[in-house]
Structure 1
Amino acid sequence: MSENSAENLHRQWSRFWQSASGFWRGLSAWRVWLLCAALVAIVVLQLYVQFRLNYWNRDFFDALENRDGGRLRAQALLLIPLCAASVALAVTSVWGRMTVQRKWREWLSGHVIDYWMEEERYVRLAQVQDGGEQQIPEYRIAEDTRIATDAPVDFALGLVGSLLNAIVFIQVLWTVGGNATLSVFGTSFWIPGYLVVSVVVYSGLVTTAMVLVGAPLTRVVLIKDQAEAELITAAHLLREIGEGVAQKRREEEVKRGLWQALANTMAQWRNLCWQLARTTLVSQGNTLLAPVIGLVLCAPKFLADAMTLGELTQAAAAFTLVQGSFNWLVDNYGRVVDWISSLERVGGLLLSLDDLNHATSRSGETPAMPVEPVRPL
C-alpha cells in the first residue's frame, strides 16, 4: 500500500469515528451504555450455562459408560432447564444487540443526512463528482452506514464472549487433560497441561493461515463494491434519459457505459469468488478438524484408563470452544473485511462533504460546520 493510500485510509477512519462516536457521548448516552452493560451480563450468564452444559456432557457420558439408568434420567431432566435458560438468554441477547445497532444506525444516518442536506451540499456534491467512489451517497447512507454500525456491536460482544470462554475453558482443559509425556526419538518430554499447549499452537497456526490467505480480501471487497456502485449509477443515468431528465443524445454512450459497468462488476465478483474460496479452505478445514483433534489428543489417555468417556467428551468439547475463541478472527474474517470497507466509504463521503466546506470557504462564503443531531436514544 502506498503512503498516500495509507494516509487516505487513516483520514477516512478518523473522520468516520469523529462522527460515529457522538452516539456514545452526551447526556442521553447513559441509556445505551446501560443496555450494553446488560448485554455483557447476558454474555456472562450464557458462559455459565455453557460451562454447566460442558459438565453435563461429562456426567451424561460417564453414566452411559457405567450403564447407570438413574443417573441418565437425572441428567436428562437437568438438560431441560439448561436448554431453556440457553434459549431465553440467546433471544434476549439478540433483542438487546439489535436495539443498540438500530439506535446507533438511526443516529449516524441522521447525522450524515443532516450534513449532506445542509447548504444544499447534495446539489454541489453531485456537480463535482466525476465517476469517483462517492458517486451515490444514498448508498453510503443506506447500506454502508448499516454495516458500519452493526458490525462493531457484534464484534465487541463476540470478543468479550470469546475472551471469557477462553479463560474459563482453558481451566477445564488444564484440569481434565492434565499432563502428558511425549517420546521423540527415544527422548521423553514432559508437557504440563498438554491440551492447553495443543490448543494454543493449533489456534495460532489456523489464525496465521487465515491472515496470510485473506490479506487481499479487504481490497477485493472494496473494488467489488465500487464496481457495484458504478453499475447502479450507470442504470440511473439511463433511467434519467428515459424520463427526459438527461439529454437524449447521450443515450448510446450511457448504454455502452451500462454494459461496461456490468462486465466490470462480474469481473470483480469473479475475483471475490476466488478470494473467498481460499479463505473458506482455511475456515472450513478448521471447522472439520478442531473437534477431531480434541478427540485424538485425548484418546491415548482414554485407552490407558486415565480418562473416562465423560472426561473424553468434556475435554474434546472444551478444546473446540477454546480454539473457537482463539480463532475468532478466522470465523469473522469476512465480516471484518466488509465492515472496514463500509467504514472507509462512509468516512470518504464525510470527507467529500468536508471538502465542499473548504471550497466554500475559499470562495468567500461562510462554511457550515457539521451538526450533531440530537436524537433520542
Structure 2
Amino acid sequence: MSDDENEDGNREWSRFWLTAQQFWLGSTAWRVWLLCAALVALVVLQLYVQFRFNYWNRDFFDALEGRDPTRLRQQAYLLIPLALASVVLAIISVWGRMAMQRNWRQWLSAKVINYWVENDRYARLATVQGDLKIPEYRIAEDIRIATDAPIDFAVSVISSLLTAIVFVQVLWQVGGSIGFAVAGLQLWIPGYLVVSVVVYSGLVTGAMLWVGSPLTRVIQTKNQVESELITAAHLLRDIGEGITPKQEERGVIAGIWLALDRTIQQWKRLCWQLMRNTLVSHLNTLIAPIIGLVLCAPKFLADQMTLGELTQAAAAFTLVQGSFNWMVDNFSRVAEWMSSLERVGGLLLSLDRLNGDAKADVTPSEAARQQAGG
C-alpha cells in the first residue's frame, strides 16, 4: 500500500470516528455504558461456566478411567445445569450484543443521512465524479458493518483475554514441568504447556498476518465495484421511468456489463485471497486440538497425568490458543470492517468538501466537528 493510500485511509478513519464516537459521549451515553457493563458481566459468567465445563471434563474422564458408575452418574447430573446455564447465557448475550449494534447503527445512520440531506448536499454530491457519488451502499451496508463489527470485536476480545488468563493457569497447574534429554544435555521446561501454546500461537498469528495482509484493500475494492454495479442498474431504471433520455440507453447498458465484469473480477481476487487465508485458519483448526493431546501424551504414558487431566489440559490448550489466535479467527472480518469504516469516512469527507463548494461560513474541518457534535 502506498503512502498516499495510507494517508487517505488515516483521514477516513479519523473522520469516521469524529462522528461515530458521539454515540458513546452524548447525554444519553450512560444507557450505552450500562448495557456494556451488562455484556461484560455476561462474558464473565460464560467464562465461569466454561471453566466449570473444563473441570467437568476432567472429572468425567477420570470416572470413566476408574470405571466408577457412581461418579459417572454424578457428572451426568451436573452436566444438565451447566449446559442449561451455557445456553441461557449465550441467548442473552446475543440479545445484548445485537441491541447495542442496532442502536449504534440507527444513531449513526441518522447522523449521516441528515448530513447528506442538509443544504441539498445529496443533489450536489450527485454531480461529483468518481465513487463519491454513490452514498446509498455506504449508508445501507457499510454503516451496518462499521457499527456491527466493533461490538462483536470488543466482546470477543474481552472474552479471549479473560479466557487466556484463566486457562493459562489451568495449563500451568495441570501440565507442570517436563524434562528431556537433547544431545546428552538434560533440559527442564517449567510450565511447558504454557510455553508451547505461546510459541504455537505466535507462529500461527504471524502466518495469518503475512498471508492475509492484502485482504483489506481487496474487500474495499470489491465493495466499491458492487456499489458501482448497483448505480449502473439504477441509471437504466431511470431511462425506463423517463428520468434520463432514451438516447443514453446504449451507453448505460454498456456500463452495466462493464460494471458486472469488474465485479466478477474482484470476486475472483477475493476468492484467491480467502483461499490463502483458509489455508492457515483451517490448518490451525485441525492441528491445535491434536497438539494439546500430543504434548500431554508423554506424561500420561508415564503415569504422571490421569486421563481426565490429559483431556482437561488438551481442552485448555485449545481454548488458550484460540484466545491468543483471535486475529487468525477474525482476520477476514477485521479486514471487511476496516474497508467499510474507510468508505463511510470517505463519504463524510466528500460531504465536508461540499461546504466549501457552497461557500459556507466554516471550513470543512470545522463543519465536520459541528456535524459530529450536532
**TM-score (norm. length: structure 1):** 0.96
Amino acid at match of 2:131: E
Write the deviation string for residues 195-214 of structure 1: whole angstroms up to 9, x where unpaired.
Answer: 00000000000000000000
Q: Which runs of 5+ in 2 are unaligned?
A: none
Query: Match for residue 112 of structure 2?
Result: 112
1:340 and 2:338 equivalent? yes
Query: Match for residue 134 of structure 2?
Result: 136
Counterpart among 175, 178, 181 of residue 180 in structure 1: 178
* Alpha-carbon distance, 1:243 to partner: 1.3
* Alpha-carbon distance, 1:6 to partner: 1.4
Q: Which runs of 5+ in 1 are unaligned?
A: none
* 8 Å Cα contact 1:111/1:373 also seen in 2: no
Q: How does 1:35-54 map to 2 (within 5 A)?
A: 35-54=35-54
Write the deviation string for residues 142-171 of structure 1: whole angstroms up to 9, x where unpaired.
Answer: 111010000000000100000000000000
> 1:320 and 1:366, CA in 2 relative to 1: closer, same or farther beyond 3 A?
closer
* Alpha-carbon distance, 1:2 to partner: 2.2
* Alpha-carbon distance, 1:181 to partner: 1.1
Quick one: distance in 2 between partners of 1:366 and 1:93? 43
**Aligned CA-pair RMSD:** 1.5
* Alpha-carbon distance, 1:26 to partner: 1.8
Query: Match for residue 95 of structure 1?
Result: 95
* Alpha-carbon distance, 1:372 to partner: 5.3
Runs (4+) of structure 1 exceeding 3 A deviation are: 364-374
Give identity over the alignment, percent. 68
Amino acid at match of 1:7: E
Query: Match for residue 6 of structure 2?
Result: 6
* Alpha-carbon distance, 1:182 to partner: 2.8
Query: Match for residue 355 of structure 1?
Result: 353
* 8 Å Cα contact 1:135/1:229 also seen in 2: no
Q: How does 1:1-377 map to 2 (within 5 A)?
A: 1-128=1-128, 130=129, 132-361=130-359, 369=367, 370-371=370-371
Instruction: Tell me the secondary structure at the aligned position of residue 190 of structure 1.
Output: strand
Quick one: distance in 1 between partners of 2:282 and 2:187? 33
* 8 Å Cα contact 2:356/2:363 also seen in 1: no
Write the deviation string for residues 172-215 of structure 1: whole angstroms up to 9, x where unpaired.
Answer: 00000000113222222100000000000000000000000000
Amino acid at match of 1:277: M
Amino acid at match of 1:212: W
Instruction: Tell me the secondary structure at the aligned position of residue 361 of structure 1.
Output: coil
* 8 Å Cα contact 2:355/2:362 also seen in 1: no
* 8 Å Cα contact 2:18/2:372 also seen in 1: no
Instruction: Tell me the secondary structure at the aligned position of residue 188 of structure 1.
Output: strand
* Alpha-carbon distance, 1:13 to partner: 0.2
Quick one: distance in 2 between partners of 1:182 and 1:17? 53
Quick one: distance in 1 between partners of 2:188 and 2:363? 74
* Alpha-carbon distance, 1:365 to partner: 9.5
* Alpha-carbon distance, 1:373 to partner: 8.4
Q: Give aligned pairs, total.
A: 371
**TM-score (norm. length: structure 2):** 0.96
Quick one: distance in 2 between partners of 1:188 and 1:148? 54
> 1:208 and 1:365, CA in 2 relative to 1: closer, same or farther beyond 3 A?
closer
Write the deviation string for residues 80-133 of structure 1: whole angstroms up to 9, x where unpaired.
Answer: 1111111111111110110010000000000001100000100010022x2x22
* 8 Å Cα contact 1:135/1:233 also seen in 2: no
Write the deviation string for residues 304-363 of structure 1: whole angstroms up to 9, x where unpaired.
Answer: 10000000000000000000000000000011011000000000000000000122227x
Instruction: Tell me the secondary structure at the aligned position of residue 127 of structure 1.
Output: coil
